[in-house]
Amino acid sequence: MTQDNQLTMQQFNEQLQELLKKLTTVEKRVSNLENPQLMYKPPQSQNYQTLSETLDDLHTEVRILKGLRDE
């Protein structure tokens, strides 16, 4: 194999490795998109919670407020 061919093969292998890294990154990102986890950080809170948890909390608070108003 000539020196030019060796250089070309080395460049090809480097590009191939770079593309494989990018493909792995894309696969991970797509996988994360298949199972989204939407998070919400309430005001004055340090922690995030799922939207489901937030909605449950809001529902509970509304029921409490309705109960207080009805009395």
Q: What is the pLDDT of residues 23-41, one digit of tens each?
A: 999 999 999 888 888 899 9
> Which helix (H) or strand (E) is 50 found in, with range?
strand 49-50
Straight-line distance from the first to the last Cα atom of the chain, in angstroms, rounded to the nearest whole number: 91
Sequence spans of domains, the chain: 1-36, 37-71
pLDDT value, residue 41: 92
- pLDDT for 11: 92
The three-class DSSP label of residue 66 is: helix
pTM comes to 0.48
| Main-chain phi, psi angles of 39, to 5 degrees | -120, 155
Average pLDDT, the chain: 89
* pLDDT, position 32: 87
Q: Is 29 helix (H, G, I), strand (E, B) or coil?
A: helix
Are 51 and 39 in contact by the 8 Å Cβ rule? The answer is yes
Query: What average pLDDT does this structure show over 47-66?
Result: 92
